[in-house]
Each structure stands twice: as C-alpha cells, then as structure tokens.
Structure 1
Amino acid sequence: MTIAASSLPEVASLIHDGMTIGIGGWGSRRKPMALVRQIVRSGARDLRIVSFGGPDVGILCATGQASEVVHGFVSLDSIAIDPHFAAARQSGSVHNVEYDEGMLVAGLRAAARRLPFEVTRSGAGSDAVTRNPHIRTITSPYADAEVLVAMPAVPLDLALLHLDRADAAGTAVCLGPDLFFDDLFAGAAARTVVSVEAVVDTADLLAGAGPTSSVLDRTLTDLVVASPGGAGFTAHPPHASRDERLQRAYVEAAASPHAWADFRARFLDVDDDAYRAAVASFHAEAAS
C-alpha cells in the first residue's frame, strides 16, 4: 500500500550503495530535485543513474556518488552542456553509457513489461550500438529478414519522480504538457517514490486539469511525498518556469572545488525549508 510520507528524510533511508536509480523528468524540466537532495544527504555511493539527464546527473557526478550514468542525453536546455557531468565524463570518474533516446525508452519499456529486451529500429547503424558492445542485433524471423536492435531491459531498483498532485493511495497527476517517460521509469522500478506539489483528496486530483494532463496509476507508486517546489530550479509548468539565475549559479559552481562546496552547502546539504530560504535569500541578494 502506498503511504503518504510526512517528510522527505524518509526517502533517504531507501537509498543504499550500489543501487540503480532512475530519475524522471527531461533535461532541466520537472526534475525531482528535492528527491535528488535526499540522494545527496543519504551519502550513498557507487550509484548507477539512469536519466534523460539534466542537473540531477550533474549534481550526482559532482558529489562523487554516481559511478555510472546511463542516459539518452545530458543537458540543461537553456545551457547546452552540464559542466559537472562533462568534467566527470572527461576525467573518467564516471562510466558513461550513452544510448539513442529511443533505445533508452525501449529498455525502460522492456523492464516495465518484465521482458529481457525490446526489438527496435532506434540506434540501428549508429555509434550508440557499435560503442556499446553489450547491445545485440536480431534478425526478423519473417520474410523481411530486417536486422533490428535488441535493446536490453533497463531495470531499476528505485525511481524518483516529481509530479503535481497525488492522493494518499498513490495515484499521481501531471498537469503540465508532457509526462515525458515517467510512467516507464515507474514501471521499470522495484520501488517508486513520487514527490508532488500537494497531496490531495482523490476527488480533487483532476480539478481544473487541462487536456494534456496525465495520470500515473497508483499501482506504479510506492511512496508519495509532499514537496512544494520540489522540481527546484528546473522548469515545472504550470507551476514555475525554470529559475535561470539559480541554474546559472549551479553552472558557475563548477569553476572550482571551493565554489562547488559553497553551492552544495547552501542548496544541497539542507532540508526543504532551508532550501527555500536559501533560494529566497539568493534572489534577494541578486536584486539588491
């Protein structure tokens, strides 16, 4: 049964060394940043991170907690390259597994369906296949005899998502224009944690919802956590646009170990209330 957690720190206790953690959202859009902070606060190491990556990936590379990153891309959208991820990739401190976006979708979908692989055309003939020696091809058994990619399943120990509303039974709603592939992350995971702007009565889940809203079935969730503003500085329509000023500060923190230590102490090694206070103080300082 899904339980509405009373506080984010309960999530940190679920995170252990060596886990494979899938993180929902897309680039610097609707990333579960409050949950990413719980990964940081857990101190867990040797993590395999699966993501359509944004600052979630960069942060966990900068903290040294990610040992492998499985991704379709890593970007901050308005800033093309995440410097923290780039530095880790260039130094070899993380093992980089790069797939075509469609390949990663196929791998998550195979895991969600409890299949060993999914057949796809995505990545066929590209370096995404030739540079990943564990990827196999398969010949169609029918008259066409087409050679296709047999994308292996990408199972997850834990999926972390941020949506808009949920009820205590675990049904969650995305009010924005795109669920991205959060449902596949949830389906591929042994356990799924969803942070939301608000936990509401079931009758209020779709109040005022537009035609693009999506529902994540309660059978896919295990823990719901109320975390207003839990997408952090990433874009979360209809609630908030991307906080470009804070994202820029995150990027600039890659300039030196001292700058990163300051950013981490102020915005990551803190609880939810302290994070909001730090963001308010940061913008007040910038405006003065």
Structure 2
Amino acid sequence: MADKTMQLSDVASHVRSGMTVGIGGWGSRRKPMALVRELLRSDATDLTVVVFGGPDVGLLCAAGKVKRLVYGFVSLDSIPLDPHFRAARESGTIATTEYDEGMFVTALRAGAARMSFLPSRAGLGSDVLAMNPELRTVASPYDDDVYVAVPGIRMDLALIHLNRADAAGNGQYLGPDPYFDDLYAMAADRCIMSVERIVPTEELTADAAPQTLLVGRMFVSGVVEAPGGAHFTSCDPDYGRDEAVQREYAEAARDPGTWAAFEQRFLAEGTR
C-alpha cells in the first residue's frame, strides 16, 4: 500500500483560491483545527466552505477567506453562536446556502455517490425552500409523493480529523460519533486527513472493532500526524473540548486588538 503521509506544512500547497472546501467534524467537536490553521496561513481566498460549522467557520470568516458558506448550522456547542460567523452573516459579507440538517446530509450523500441530486422529505413545508429558491421538487415515478430534489455537493478538497490512521490512509474514529467525515472524504476530489497518531495497520483493530475504520484509504490523498490536531475542539476519547480556550476565542471577538492577539497565538502555536 502506498505511503500517503505528509507534513502539516505541505497542506497549504493543495489549496487554491476559489476552491470548494469541506471541513469535517460537527460544531465544536473533532474539527481539523491544525489543517484549518494551515488553510488560514495560505493565500487562498474566495472559498466555498461546506460544513456543520464550529470555530473553523468563525476563524475563516474573520480572516476573509470565505465567499460562500454551505452549512447545516454553525455553533460552538457550549456557546450557542460563533461571534465571527454571526457578524459575517448579519453584515452580508458572505453568501450563504443554509440547509436543514437532513437536507445537508442528503447533499453530502449525493455528492459521495456522484449523483446530481437525491430526493428527500426534509425541507418540505418549511422556509428552507423559500430561503433557497434555486431548490426544486421532484415527483415520485411510483406514487403521488413529492420530494425535495437536494443537489449533490462535490468538493475540491475535504479536511477531516480522526483519532488514528495508518500510513496508507485508512482512518479510524474512537469516539461516540463518526459524524459525517466519511461522506466528506467520498464527496471530495482530494481529502487530507489529520490524526492524533499514525499507527501500523494491524494496530488499528488490535483493540477496536473493525467498524471503527470509518474512512477507506482509496478516498484519502494525504495523512498528517497531528497530535492535538482538533484542539480547542474535542477529540474524544483522546481529549475533550478546551472550554477555557473556546471562551477566550469567543470573548476575543469583541475587540479588534484582543482578537489580533488571539489570532496570532492560534496561528503560531495552536493556542496551547
């Protein structure tokens, strides 16, 4: 099997302005923060970001990297609203495509299957259709049902973070929830996966069930060993969310000078 390991410093070379970039994780949980940091350090702008958002979205909005956000929600979990995303949303500095969570997952599934759309009941009779007038409905060919035709999302690049992987790119989660990182990998032309540890292949299932192998190597372009790579979000069971740093992140947004200092520290050392 090919060795797909790469260094964090190599990540920025895979990003170009105007790309559609998917970021895995969920809210403020198992976000690929080390990879996001490299994205922030890059020259890339005008990005379309596809995400169940957390502080990754706020950081990218604050840095002026986002042109459009395609999302199911943006939350810091223990802090309901991300201040930078809220400011960008209210000021209209970013374009948005906001889906119901079920519709968002359907869009990922369609993209992963290379389908132009998949039908969904989610969104019917809701304001999601009014907010996204480009959405269409489709009649079932078998009965009288009507569904939302949710367009598939394909991404140029996906960034995800898992607990373990081997050098070939087989990725393993050990926490309580896989989220949808496998769909991000499958729906992207390239996927870079950071992990807490790169281990020999046989070690992946030495003490864990085979179904914890979430991401197959055929969908991974590069593997980065990044201990603490999800900090300050959680990466259970390796570590929980750093609530103190997350509060500092949210509070720093109130003052430009304080934010500049926080941002510099985040870029320099990951707020550790």
Q: Same fold (TM over 0.5)?
A: yes
Deviation at 1:130, TM superposition (A): 1.7
Establish whether residue 220 from structure 1 lines up as the match of residue 215 from structure 2.
no
Deviation at 1:210, TM superposition (A): 5.7
Question: Which deviations, in whole Å up to 9, do the C-alpha atoms of 1:54-76 show, x marking residues without a partner?
Answer: 00111100111011111000000
Alignment match, 1:56: 56
Residues 1:75 and 1:257: Cα distance change in structure 2 (over 3 Å)? same
Establish whether residue 84 from structure 1 lines up as the match of residue 90 from structure 2.
no
Alignment match, 1:229: 228
Pairing 1:43-192 to 2, within 5 Å after superposition? 43-143=43-143, 145-192=144-191
Deviation at 1:2, TM superposition (A): 5.4
User: How far apart in 2 are the matches of 1:140 and 1:256?
Assistant: 53
User: How far apart in 1 are the matches of 2:68 and 2:251?
Assistant: 24
Question: Which ranges in structure 2 are unaligned for 5 or more consecutive residues?
Answer: none
User: How far apart in 2 are the matches of 1:200 and 1:38?
Assistant: 23
Check the 8 A contact 1:173/1:206 in 2, yes or no: no
Question: Which deviations, in whole Å up to 9, do the C-alpha atoms of 1:100-122 show, x marking residues without a partner?
Answer: 01111111111111110001101
Alignment match, 1:17: 17
Deviation at 1:235, TM superposition (A): 1.2
AA at the equivalent of 1:23: I
Query: Number of matched residues?
Result: 271
Deviation at 1:51, TM superposition (A): 0.3
Deviation at 1:142, TM superposition (A): 1.6
User: How far apart in 1 are the matches of 2:185 and 2:209?
Assistant: 23
Check the 8 A contact 2:182/2:214 in 1, yes or no: no
Alignment match, 1:282: none
Deviation at 1:208, TM superposition (A): 2.2
User: How far apart in 2 are the matches of 1:60 and 1:17?
Assistant: 13
Alignment match, 1:263: 262
User: How far apart in 2 are the matches of 1:36 and 1:157?
Assistant: 15
The RMSD of aligned alpha carbons is 1.3
Residues 1:171 and 1:81: Cα distance change in structure 2 (over 3 Å)? same
Deviation at 1:211, TM superposition (A): 8.4
Deviation at 1:187, TM superposition (A): 0.7
Question: Which deviations, in whole Å up to 9, do the C-alpha atoms of 1:197-230 show, x marking residues without a partner?
Answer: 1111111112322687343111111100000000
Question: Which deviations, in whole Å up to 9, do the C-alpha atoms of 1:6-38 show, x marking residues without a partner?
Answer: x20101110110010000000000000000001
Deviation at 1:181, TM superposition (A): 0.6
Establish whether residue 198 from structure 1 lines up as the match of residue 197 from structure 2.
yes
SS in 1 for 2:58: helix
Check the 8 A contact 1:30/1:235 in 2, yes or no: yes
Check the 8 A contact 1:15/1:42 in 2, yes or no: yes
AA at the equivalent of 2:264: A
Establish whether residue 31 from structure 1 lines up as the match of residue 28 from structure 2.
no
Check the 8 A contact 2:19/2:47 in 1, yes or no: yes
User: How far apart in 1 are the matches of 2:30 and 2:3?
Assistant: 22
Check the 8 A contact 1:175/1:210 in 2, yes or no: no
AA at the equivalent of 2:43: G
Deviation at 1:156, TM superposition (A): 0.4
Check the 8 A contact 1:107/1:154 in 2, yes or no: yes
User: How far apart in 2 are the matches of 1:190 and 1:95?
Assistant: 23
AA at the equivalent of 2:68: E
Check the 8 A contact 1:164/1:198 in 2, yes or no: yes
Taking structure 2 as the reference length, the TM-score comes to 0.97
User: How far apart in 2 are the matches of 1:260 and 1:19?
Assistant: 27
Taking structure 1 as the reference length, the TM-score comes to 0.91
Identity %: 54
Alignment match, 2:5: 4
Check the 8 A contact 1:197/1:227 in 2, yes or no: yes
